[in-house]
Structure 1
Amino acid sequence: MPETSHLRLAEEYRVIKRPILKNAFNKGAVPVDKGNLVMVTSSIEGEGKTYTALNLAMSIAMELDCTILLVDADFTMRSLTKTLGLETETGLVDILHDKKRDMGDSILATNIDRLKILPAGRKTRNPTELLASSRMAMITEELSRRYPDRIILFDTPPVLAATETASIMHHMGQVIVVVESSRTPTDVIKSCIAHIDDDKVIGMVLNKSRFHGKTGYYGGYGPVE
């Protein structure tokens, strides 16, 4: 990617993260419960949610006053885990299965000081039940309250493609919906939004939009009206 494209991409993610940070630390107009728990999702597969989650996490890690934990909560595709080459590492699935397992043992440091990763962990046949469990509720509560200076960003399955997304959504404060420009039909986007809990702060990221004849990865961030 040319240097100008890198610079543009970095600036675009600065724009995306700013309202997320305000909501995470209750600096917005309205306080957000568990605002530091943020899920990145999409309507359907292939819209770039994992790419967006990873780039957003790296951008947030550049902040001076907060840290970021990026969690792979898409237990079926495990795209984030695969992208980072962490298939053999323990992760969230293992923590949910084993109540004695210390979460800190599965959180991995990166070469970016303020960014840590929690992989998906081992494969599972019951992702919905795991994410709907009381242990998941306890874990998200602990993450939200124990680390007030940390944003926990979850890469989750698409809303309309997996039942487990609704299970994890209940624990979140913010929901970021990635939409692929010129591909995702409007009625599909509306259906996706209708599936999101009313008490969540919803933002949308337009992915793979065009600028001056060139393809970019971000077209806009904004609340859903």
Structure 2
Amino acid sequence: MMRKQMAKRVIPDFQEGKGEELVTLTRRASLASDRYRMLFAKVDQLCRTPEKKLIALTSSIKGEGKTTTTANLAIVAARDFGKRCLIIDGDFKNPTLAKKFAMPEESGLIDVIEGRVQLGNALKRGPVENLAILPMGRRSGKENNIWTTEEIKHVLTEVRAWFDYIWIDAPPILPLFDMSFISDSVDGTLIVVRAGEVPEQVLAQAIKSLGSSKIIGSVLNRAKMDWPSRYYEYGY
């Protein structure tokens, strides 16, 4: 209990900025937001038995929307379902979580791993209640793969005691990243697939390299669907 209170106290307030649009914040009553709520409800159902807290989101290649999916999924989980959530930027080659939330490139995960900042001081308060964010932090360009370090395991063990769900924005699987490093550290993995963009054989290769033991499911992103316009007027 003391750890949870400490974490809540040290997280600075989220600052509104000009980040990329997150539909669950800007259009809460939209069809897209409803889809994210449905997605979390399904993930939550799958993660209850056995309990899964650490969920990595990845994709076959760059640009399929994994960071956007991670952010929106965490927002609805925290705001609409009352789950204590943390988003970790785990894409050390191309970190974009801070930009997504319009946060300055200050201390983050790398600083914690390298011992410059304590974990509690690196957490940032998200735009909704119950949501915290751990960005990558400032990179020197000389960092190795953070997922091969012992320190990352200590970080994940610590936050597991503080939050109901930890969402990790992981690197894309192809062409070179070995997701086994992350699979060994998390409870489950969601694969984000952008509709009409990734050839079937590329997706199959990515899934094969990932292995099936930790895969919870896949998220089809940017699929075109025809819905009556009146559906968009529905809200809670």
Partner of 1:154: 168
Tell me, what secondary structure is at the counterpart of 2:30?
A: helix
Q: Which residue number corresponds to residue 152 of structure 2?
A: 136
**Aligned residue runs from structure 1 range 1-225, under 5 A:** 7-26=30-49, 31-32=50-51, 35-98=52-115, 101-123=117-139, 124-128=141-145, 130-144=146-160, 146-147=161-162, 149-163=163-177, 165-212=179-226
Distance (whole Å) between structure 2 residues aligned to residue 136 and residue 63 of structure 1: 29
Matching residue of 2:12: none
Taking the aligned partners of 1:46 and 1:141, their CA distance within structure 2 comes to 30
8 Å CA contact 1:39–1:155 kept in 2: the answer is yes
Q: Provide the C-alpha distance between the structure 2 equivalents of 1:4 and 1:115, rounded to a whole number of angstroms.
A: 18
State the Cα distance separating 1:76 from its structure 2 match. Answer: 1.7
Is the strand fraction higher in 1 or 2? Answer: 1
What CA distance in whole angstroms lies between the structure 2 residues aligned with 1:185 and 1:127?
30
Paired residues of 1:176 and 1:205 also in contact (CA < 8 A): yes
Letter of the structure 2 residue corresponding to residue 209 of structure 1 = A
Answer with 180-189 or 4-13: which moved more.
4-13
- Identify unmatched segments of 5+ residues in structure 2: 1-22, 229-236
Quick one: percent identity of the two aligned structures? 26
Deviation of 1:120 after TM superposition, in Å, equals: 0.5
1:211 alignment partner, SS class? coil
| TM-score of the pair, normalised by structure 2 | 0.78
The alpha carbon displacement at 1:22 in A equals 2.6
Instruction: Using the TM superposition, give the Cα deviation of residue 58 of structure 1 relative to its aligned residue in structure 2, in angstroms.
Output: 0.8
Q: Provide the rounded CA distance (Å) in 2 between the counterparts of 1:4 and 1:121.
A: 29
Amino acid at match of 2:35: E
Distance 1:83 1:212 in 2: 28
Aligned residues: 203
Deviation >3 Å, runs of 4+: 3-6
Tell me if the contact between 1:180 and 1:208 (Cα under 8 Å) persists in the aligned partners. yes
Q: Displacement of 1:164 after TM fit?
A: 5.6
| C-alpha contact (below 8 Å) 1:131/1:164 kept by paired residues | no
CA deviations 1:54-101 (Å, max 9, x no partner) are: 111111112444211011111221111222233421000111111x73
Q: Is the 8 A contact 2:179 2:210 kept in 1?
A: no
Q: Which runs of 5+ in 1 are unaligned?
A: 215-225
- Greater relative contact order: 1 or 2 (C-alpha under 8 angstroms, separation 6 or more)? 2
Aligned-CA RMSD value: 2.4
Q: Residue 36 of structure 1 aligns to which amino acid in structure 2?
A: K
What is the aligned partner in structure 1 of residue 19 from structure 2?
A: none
1:221 aligned partner: none
TM-score, normalization by structure 1: 0.81
In structure 2, relative to structure 1, the CA distance for the partners of 1:211 and 1:150 (3 Å cut) is same
